[in-house]
Amino acid sequence: MPRPQPVVYGLYAWTPAYGFRYIHPANRRTFEWLEPTGKLFEKIDETDDWILIRYDEQQFYVSGELFTELHDKPPFSFGDLVEEARPEPGRLPHRGLISDVFWDEARHQISFQIVEKKRKLKRIFEADELRFG
């Protein structure tokens, strides 16, 4: 599904303690496995009953009650090709696709994880550590 323009980014701070009424029955198990707290979602669509949010290549119908819009657009999003801006001397920069976007509420800071050669790197990058590749 193409991204709406402009893309709306936000948080969905759901945990199992909230109960499952906030998650569409078709999405409950996969959304719970995702562990959505601290992850940045793209809001794709909304109806009277549900909003459709996206995280990487997965889409979920959820209640709009727990969605909190972030007004600052992240510099990168899912699928963007990026590379490490300042690799260690003598090492080639990591280069890959954005697969995860995290939001640190305490620091009001965004970070990213990338997939390089079909392998998700363990390292989490701050925004200023990456550039478009």
Model confidence over 66-102: pLDDT tens digits?
A: 999 998 899 999 999 999 999 999 999 999 999 999 9
Radius of gyration of the chain (CA): 16
pLDDT for 6: 79
Torsion of CA 11, 12, 13, 15, to 10 degrees: -150
CB 65 within 8 A of CB 22: yes
- In percent, the amount of the chain with pLDDT more than 70 equals 96
- Model-level pTM? 0.91
> Distance (Å, rounded) from C-alpha 96 to C-alpha 98?
7
